[in-house]
């Protein structure tokens, strides 16, 4: 699939950027809303020896791009997503999120960056079970010290849950919970949105609706979207796909 | 399968709190309880030493020959001595009336005399022929060094030793002048035991309890002159009070430890059941019946609970051996052998805790629907709350009753615990409701943290109750322990009098006061002492059972009456009303326990013979006496109108430096008929008891503290997984470490503040009742103590919450969400 260009500034040739070992123009500073890695890898210690989950990942994602990370189960998709989003630290290599290096940043610095620029949608929704839909969506704004009630209400209405504001997650179906999660992810108008198997726990029809919602929330294409999925249809809706196999990016 | 699941659960840390709490409870009851039991048995053993055996019989004539014969027939060991008064003099001191104690050739039954001789301090059975020993004050009076000559009844004997410890020195007797211990043969050779000699013969016996009981019963029937039976029950009231108090406090502390552990186990079991709801639902979906579910979870509980109990019993055995030996060495005493009862009790209580607190939530899993596999909103069925609650309360009541010794004390403790739990529950609910309202207007992480309290309302209430209850129990023990300890300290180390002065005539008061002024001493009161003999039961008492045992012995003794215009210091009115000195007519006030032993009641008419004069009056008040104050106190007080013209001497108590003999010397000159009784021996014994009990109390307190900590851990663990997940999500959303830390501190701080404040007030209230009604102590807590308690509770809760999450505050989101499972 030929990757389309983002309306935002592009600093790298998108094809060259995914070739293993290919070095980009490192003298240039990654733009806001973009992602970059250079030779990133992740190894975890196990009782019977270290396990390499990812190795030698170098990629560039331009601001505004919609990229799908695909691959078979166990290929390292979620791990790559975690590293790109700063939820985990690479064992080696360098990574930039929203134009800022995160490979050597501590957890607080990464959290601060996420608060400013990132939204996240989990496969299992990860809503706060004791908080209503409204409170869940308002939470990221509250963490920034902002009143989030009005924005949260507006977002929930936009995702079709205007009548369920005060319901707890256990009172919502899987699809409805994912809608809340998407609304929460967009509450802070993130420059980058990460989604980990957003339709993985949903039926086909509901999954389609969620996909539409996910992309529909950013009509103006101002948000970089990185989605991990094994759903080929969802992957096809993205500008390009990064295919992982046994922890390595395929050309 | 139960075994495999148990092992897997143990490796996952699922059963840590449950097994730890069970281990602590059983170890406390079996191990520490055993040490406490052995220590109090040792204290009782010391009371035997004070009697000189298991029992003793004293008589003014040779009726002891029959007593000795009976002892031999019953297979008892026996030891004879005789006490009499005689003139004692030396080259350096004028002859004075002293107390002689003559020892026969039988060995002492319980421990030798410790005597300072020319070769140092030695343990000796009796002085050698031609020698004598003096008490320390006696040697001071005689001004004779070791090896010098002391004349007894005109017979010169060499001073071979100064007595350091006399195993059967009577605590209740009156000592006149220097105390001399010498061989019976010397007394007989000196002709001091001829006809008309006023000697008191004594035989002490030791042996099997059944034989002792028969011997005592036979002696109680002896009506020969001066016949008196003594057992350990005849300890001075001060020692009795100290022993009783120590025992009750220790027992109650252990029960509270077990109760706290039960709370921790209950919480841990509920959490385990909650976590396994899905597992149980899956098993049901796969075809497992209720019986299989029960077998699985009850099997796990039985296996792990059994291991915890067995390990605790083994540890108890080791603890007994090590700690018991240490206590014995530190205090220079030996502890009786351990019995199996504390171990059995520990195991039984452990089983009861498992049955009433751990089993029910697990049994409820059998009613989890298979549908819960698909429907996560289906609630876990709850165990029958009311039945369980009743069962748990009955068990606790029984434990408290057994520990405290009476229904009132058990009621105070259990009632206080229940009332506190109720108040804490209401407070937890109110907290959740309050923050729900107040939090709506705010923003940020503090609002999030406070609103969590209302969002997790049931858990908030459970945590407030758990933290508050454990804190209340710990504060209660701390407050009461402080009361007990401070009272002991004040009584035996502080300004408690250690010299009683008796036999002061009314017209000698001025001279006596002059001596005290000269020595800068202040008397603790100055009370008349009236010797009286009780004249049998009145008509109203004849229908009641006669006094038995000690009561019977008390009835036959001469009484020391006194009088007072007002309720004396150290006395607490328990029933009736103390008289108005101006209007009182024929009234008596009696010490409560004394009245019980003699079967006297409020309103009874009692009569006494005072030097041939009959006095009669009604008992119009009953009072408790704090004997450890060591001020002159009396079992029976007569109203001023009764005592007005009766022959009396005066008694007072004074505090002098230990070993000081100046008072005795000065009074010997100015008030020669006055007698100074040195009660350092009694205070020394109480000090020893206090030291021994304090050691064990400290150990018991730390076990209770450990139990309380486990409750804290269980309470915090109740929401731990949820918190870890939330922490991961908050991190993903951009929350900083500081925000997350502050959220934990705010949430737990609010819970801790409420729990700590209520716990402090409850502990003060229950502690007051318990100290006054059960331990006969005035409470000494203050507002500062309460405020400190509340602050400690808040801090402890915040610390517990922070510690439980600390590891995750700086971990990556991936690590955190992975840890949440």
The C-alpha angle B764, B765, B770, rounded to 5 degrees, equals 95
The span from the first CA to the last CA of chain A, in angstroms, equals: 12
pLDDT for A157 equals 93
Which range is least confidently modeled, A152-161, B266-275, B510-519?
B266-275
Average pLDDT for B359-385: 70
Size of interface A-B (CB pairs under 8 A): 84
Q: Which pLDDT band holds residue A5 (cuts at 50, 70, 90)?
A: very low
| φ/ψ (deg, to 5) at A41 | -140, 160
Average pLDDT rounded to a whole number, residues B99-120 = 80
% of chain B residues with pLDDT over 70: 77
Q: What is the mean pLDDT of residues B639-666?
A: 82
- Unique residue bearing structure tokens 């400190």: B788
Sort out which chain A residues have CB atoms less than 8 A from B736's CB and list them: 108, 111-112
Q: Is pLDDT above 80 for B47?
A: no
| Between residues A167 and B668, the one the model is more confident about | A167
The predicted pLDDT at position B333 comes to: 61
Q: How far from A193 is each of A109, A231, B533, CA to CA, in Å?
A: 18, 18, 101
Reported as a pLDDT band with limits 50, 70 and 90, residue B576 is: very high
**How much is the pLDDT for B452?**
81
Q: Do B812 and A107 touch (CB under 8 A)?
A: yes
Average pLDDT over residues B662-666: 78
pLDDT for residue A154 is more than 80: yes
Q: How many CB atoms lie within 10 A of CB B551?
A: 18
Q: Residue B173 above 50 pLDDT?
A: no
Check whether B263 has a pLDDT greater than 60: yes
Q: Which pLDDT does position B131 carry in this prediction?
A: 94
pLDDT at B690: 65
pLDDT by residue (tens digit) across B386-422?
676 677 777 777 777 776 666 777 777 778 888 888 8
The closest alpha carbon to B700, from B478, B496, B414, belongs to: B478
Give which of B441, B475, B478, B454 is closest to B751, Cα–Cα. Answer: B454
Identify the three-state secondary structure at position A166.
coil
pLDDT value of residue A92 = 92
Average pLDDT over residues B789-807: 78
The mean per-residue pLDDT over the stretch B420-430 comes to 87
Average pLDDT of the segment spanning A166-173: 90
What local confidence, expressed as pLDDT, does residue A181 receive? 93
Predicted pLDDT of residue A54? 92
CA distance A4 to A1: 9
Q: List the beta bridge partners of residue B165.
A: B114
**Residue contact B735–A143, C-beta within 8 A:** yes
Chain A's closest residue to B727, CA to CA, is A128
pLDDT of B235 over the 60 cut: no
Categorize the per-residue pLDDT at A66 as very low, low, confident or very high, splitting at 50, 70 and 90.
Answer: very high
What does the DSSP 8-state code read for residue B507?
A: G
Q: B804 or B125, which is more confident? A: B125
pLDDT, tens digit, for every residue of B742-753? 888 888 888 888
CB atoms within 10 A of CB B644: 10
| pLDDT tens for each residue of B286-343 | 666 778 788 888 888 888 889 999 999 998 888 877 777 776 776 566 667 777 888 8
pLDDT beyond 80 at B158: yes
Q: What is the mean pLDDT of chain A?
A: 83
* Chain A residue closest in CA terms to B810: A107
Q: Is B447 on the interface with A (CB under 8 A)?
A: yes
Confidence of residue A19 (pLDDT cuts 50, 70, 90): very low
Q: Which residues of A touch B455 (CB under 8 A)?
A: 130-131
Flag whether pLDDT at B102 surpasses 80: yes
B687 band by pLDDT with thresholds 50, 70 and 90: low
Question: Which of A59-73, B11-25, B474-488 is the least confident region?
Answer: B474-488
Q: What is the mean pLDDT of residues B244-264?
A: 76
Indicate the pLDDT class of residue B623, thresholds 50, 70 and 90.
Answer: very high
Higher pLDDT, B489 or B35: B35
What is the pLDDT confidence band of residue A90, given thresholds at 50, 70 and 90? very high
- pLDDT, residue B554, reads 65
Residue A13 has pLDDT above 50, yes or no: no
Is the pLDDT at B529 greater than 80, yes or no? yes
DSSP secondary structure string, B420-485?
Answer: HHHHHHHHHHHHHHHHHHHGGG--HHHHHHHHHHHHTHHHHHHHHHHHHHHHHHHHHHHHHHHHHH
Element (H, E) at A66: strand A66-71
In angstroms, the separation between the Cα of residue A25 and the nearest Cα of chain B is 30
What is the reported pLDDT for B598?
86
B369 CB neighbour count, 10 Å cutoff: 16
* DSSP count for chain B of H helices, then E strands: 27, 21
CB contact at 8 A, B350 and B22: yes
Question: Tens digits of per-residue pLDDT, A25-37?
Answer: 444 677 888 999 9
Provide the 10 A C-beta neighbour count for residue B267: 27
Q: Which residue of A has its CA nearest to B453?
A: A130
Q: What is the largest CA-CA distance in chain B?
A: 106
Dihedral of alpha carbons B448, B454, B458, B461, sign: positive
Segments in B52-192 forming alpha helices (H)? 64-73, 136-142, 184-189
Please identify among residues 769-808 of chain B the ones whose CB lies closer than 8 Å to any CB of chain A.
none
**Is B491 in contact with B661 (CB distance < 8 Å)?**
no
Greater model confidence, A182 or B447: A182
Residue A128 has which token pair? 């706060």
pLDDT (tens digit, 9 = 90+) per residue, B183-228? 988 888 888 877 666 677 888 888 887 888 888 888 877 766 667 7
* Residue B214 φ then ψ, to 5°: -65, -40
* A129: chain B residues, CB-CB within 8 Å: 722
Spatial CB neighbours of B356, under 8 Å, sequence gap ≥ 6: B262, B388, B391, B392, B395
- What local confidence, expressed as pLDDT, does residue B384 receive? 62
Q: What are the C-alpha distances in Å from B316 to residues B249, B262, B347, B704?
A: 20, 19, 11, 16
Please indicate whether residue B331 or residue B641 has the higher confidence score (pLDDT): B641
Tokens of B548: 């038995």
Query: 3-class SS at B578?
Result: coil
Residue B659 confidence (pLDDT): 66
Cα→Cα distances B555→B148, B535, B538, B559, B600, Å? 45, 9, 13, 9, 11
Classify A113 as helix, strand or coil. helix
CA distances B755 to B371, B477, B560, B599, Å, are: 38, 17, 52, 47
Q: What is the mean pLDDT of residues A112-137?
A: 87
pLDDT digits (tens, 9 = 90+) for B532-547: 888 866 766 777 777 7
- Confidence bin at B795 (pLDDT 50/70/90): confident
For the cut 60, the answer to whether the pLDDT of residue B372 exceeds it is yes
Closest CA to B759 of B485, B480, B419, B444: B419
What is the distance between the alpha carbons of residues B77 and B217, in angstroms, rounded to a whole number?
17
B400 CB within 8 Å of a chain A CB: no
Q: Does B442 touch chain A if contact means CB atoms closer than 8 Å?
A: no
Q: Which residues of B touch A98 (CB under 8 A)?
A: none
Q: Which residue of A has its CA nearest to B375?
A: A170
Q: Report residue B362 as tokens.
A: 């697990």
Interface test mutation site (partner A, options B454, B719, B734, B807, max chain A beta carbons within 10 A): B734
ipTM of predicted complex: 0.75
Calculate mean pLDDT across residues B561-566: 90
What is the average pLDDT value for chain B, to the nearest integer?
78
Assigned token pair, B433: 């409701």
Of A34-43, A134-143, B662-671, the one with minimum mean pLDDT is B662-671
CB-CB under 8 Å, B448 with A146? no
- Mutation to test the A interface, candidates B732, B805, B808, most A Cβ within 10 Å: B732
Integer Cα distance of B492 and B485 in angstroms: 11
B376 interaction partners in chain A (CB closer than 8 Å): 170
Give A-chain residues touching B448 at CB under 8 angstroms: 139, 142-143
Which one-letter DSSP state was computed for residue B91? T
Structure tokens at B582: 């101006």
Hey, are the CB atoms on A115 and B735 less than 8 Å from each other?
yes
Average the pLDDT over each of A73-82, B274-283, B345-354 and give the range with the smallest value: B274-283
pLDDT at A10: 33
Element housing B622 (H / E)? strand B613-625
Give CA–CA dist B410/B402, Å, rounded: 8
Which pLDDT score is estimated for B29? 81
Rounded to 5°, the CA angle A214-A216-A222 comes to: 90
Average pLDDT over residues B502-530: 84
* Residue B345 or residue B589, greater confidence: B589
Cβ contact A84:A226 at 8 Å: yes
pLDDT, average across residues B676-703 = 68
């Amino acid at each position: 699939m030929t990757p389309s260009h983002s309306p935002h500034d592009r600093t790298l040739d998108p094809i060259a950027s995914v070739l293993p070992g290919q070095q980009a123009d490192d003298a240039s500073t990654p733009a806001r809303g973009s992602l970059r890695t250079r030779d990133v890898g992740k190894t975890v210690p196990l009782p019977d020896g270290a396990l390499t989950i990812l190795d030698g990942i170098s990629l560039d994602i331009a601001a505004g791009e919609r990229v799908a990370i695909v691959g078979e189960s166990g290929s390292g998709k979620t791990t790559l997503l975690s590293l790109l989003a700063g939820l985990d630290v690479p064992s080696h290599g360098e990574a930039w999120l929203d134009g800022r290096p995160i490979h050597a940043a501590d957890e607080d610095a990464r959290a601060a960056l996420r608060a400013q620029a990132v939204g996240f949608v989990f496969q299992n929704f990860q809503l706060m079970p004791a908080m209503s839909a409204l409170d869940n969506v308002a939470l990221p704004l509250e963490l920034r010290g902002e009143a989030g009630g009005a924005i949260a209400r507006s977002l929930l209405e936009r995702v079709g849950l205007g009548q369920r504001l005060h319901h707890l997650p256990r009172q919502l179906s899987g699809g409805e919970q994912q809608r809340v999660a998407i609304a929460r992810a967009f509450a802070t108008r993130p420059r980058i949105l990460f989604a980990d198997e957003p339709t993985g726990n949903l039926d086909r029809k509901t999954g389609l609706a969620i996909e539409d919602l996910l992309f529909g929330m950013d009509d103006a294409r101002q948000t970089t979207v990185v989605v991990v999925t094994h759903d080929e249809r969802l992957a096809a809706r993205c500008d390009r796909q990064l295919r992982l196999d046994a922890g390595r990016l395929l050309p | 399968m139960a075994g495999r699941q148990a092992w897997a659960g143990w490796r996952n840390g699922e059963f840590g709190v449950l097994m730890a709490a069970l281990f602590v409870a059983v170890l406390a009851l079996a191990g520490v309880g055993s040490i406490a039991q052995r220590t109090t048995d040792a204290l009782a053993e010391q009371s035997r030493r004070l009697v000189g055996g298991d029992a003793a019989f004293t008589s003014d004539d040779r009726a002891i020959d029959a007593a000795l014969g009976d002892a031999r027939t019953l297979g008892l060991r026996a030891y004879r001595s005789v006490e009499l008064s005689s003139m004692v003099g030396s080259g350096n001191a004028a002859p004075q009336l002293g107390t002689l104690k003559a020892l026969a050739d039988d060995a002492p039954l319980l421990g030798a005399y410790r005597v300072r001789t020319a070769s140092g301090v030695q343990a000796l059975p009796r002085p050698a022929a031609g020698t004598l020993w003096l008490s320390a004050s006696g040697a001071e009076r005689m001004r004779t060094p070791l090896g010098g000559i002391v004349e007894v009844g005109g017979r010169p004997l060499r001073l071979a030793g100064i007595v350091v410890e006399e195993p059967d020195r009577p605590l209740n007797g009156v000592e006149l002048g220097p105390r001399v211990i010498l061989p019976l043969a010397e007394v007989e050779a000196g002709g001091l035991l001829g006809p008309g000699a006023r000697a008191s013969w004594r035989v002490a016996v030791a042996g099997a309890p059944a034989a002792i009981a028969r011997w005592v019963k036979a002696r109680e029937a002896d009506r020969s002159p001066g016949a008196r039976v003594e057992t350990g029950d005849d300890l001075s009231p001060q020692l009795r009070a100290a022993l009783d108090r120590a025992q009750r406090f220790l027992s109650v502390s252990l029960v509270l430890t077990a109760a706290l552990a039960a709370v921790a186990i209950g919480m841990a079991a509920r959490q385990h059941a909650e976590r396994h709801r899905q597992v149980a639902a899956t098993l049901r979906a796969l075809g497992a019946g209720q019986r299989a579910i029960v077998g699985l979870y009850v099997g796990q509980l039985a296996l792990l609970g059994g291991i915890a109990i067995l390990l605790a019993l083994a540890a108890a055995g080791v603890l007994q051996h090590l700690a018991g030996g240490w206590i014995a060495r530190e205090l220079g005493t030996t502890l009786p052998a351990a019995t199996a009862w504390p171990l059995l009790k520990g195991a039984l209580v452990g089983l009861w805790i498992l049955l009433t607190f751990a089993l029910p939530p697990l049994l409820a899993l059998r009613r989890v629907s298979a549908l819960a596999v698909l429907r996560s909103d289906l609630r876990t069925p709850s165990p029958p709350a009311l039945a369980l609650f009743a069962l748990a309360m009955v068990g606790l009541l029984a434990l408290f009753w057994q520990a405290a010794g009476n229904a009132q004390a058990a009621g105070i403790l259990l009632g206080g615990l229940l009332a506190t739990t109720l108040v804490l529950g209401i407070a937890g609910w109110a907290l959740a409701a309050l923050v729900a309202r107040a939090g709506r207007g705010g923003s940020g992480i503090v609002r999030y943290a406070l609103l969590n309290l209302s969002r997790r309302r049931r858990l908030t209430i459970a945590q407030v109750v758990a933290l508050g209850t454990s804190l209340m129990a710990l504060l209660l023990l701390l407050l009461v322990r402080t009361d007990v300890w401070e009272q002991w300290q004040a009584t035996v180390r502080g300004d408690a009098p250690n010299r009683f002065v008796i036999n002061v005539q009314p017209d000698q008061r001025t001279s006596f006061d002059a001596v005290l002024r000269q020595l800068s001493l202040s008397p603790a009161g100055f009370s008349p002492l009236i010797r009286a003999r009780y004249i049998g039961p009145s008509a109203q008492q004849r229908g009641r059972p006669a006094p038995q045992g000690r009561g019977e012995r008390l009835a036959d003794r001469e009484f020391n009456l006194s009088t007072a215009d007002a309720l004396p210091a150290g006395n607490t009115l328990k029933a009736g009303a103390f008289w108005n000195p101006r209007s009182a007519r024929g009234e008596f006030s009696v010490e409560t326990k004394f009245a019980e032993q003699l079967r006297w009641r409020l309103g009874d008419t009692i009569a006494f013979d005072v030097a041939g004069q009959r006095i009669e009056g009604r008992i119009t008040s009953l009072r408790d006496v704090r004997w450890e104050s060591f001020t002159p106190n009396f079992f029976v007080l007569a109203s001023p109108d009764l005592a007005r013209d009766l022959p009396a001497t005066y008694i007072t108590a004074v505090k002098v430096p230990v070993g000081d003999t100046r008072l005795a010397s000065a009074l010997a000159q100015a008030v020669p008929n006055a007698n100074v009784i040195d009660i350092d021996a009694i205070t020394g014994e109480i000090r020893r008891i206090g030291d021994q009990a304090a050691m064990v109390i400290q150990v018991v307190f730390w076990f209770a503290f450990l139990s309380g900590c486990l409750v804290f851990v269980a309470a915090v663990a109740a929401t731990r997984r949820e918190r870890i997940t939330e922490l991961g999500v908050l991190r993903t959303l951009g929350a900083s470490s500081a925000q997350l830390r502050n959220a934990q501190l705010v949430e737990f701080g609010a819970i801790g503040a409420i729990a700590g404040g209520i716990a402090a007030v409850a502990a003060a209230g229950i502690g007051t009742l318990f100290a006054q009604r059960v331990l006969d102590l005035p409470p000494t807590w203050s507002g500062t103590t309460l405020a400190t308690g509340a602050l400690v509770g808040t801090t402890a809760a915040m610390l517990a919450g922070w510690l439980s999450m600390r590891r995750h505050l700086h971990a990556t989101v991936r690590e955190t969400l992975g840890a949440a499972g």
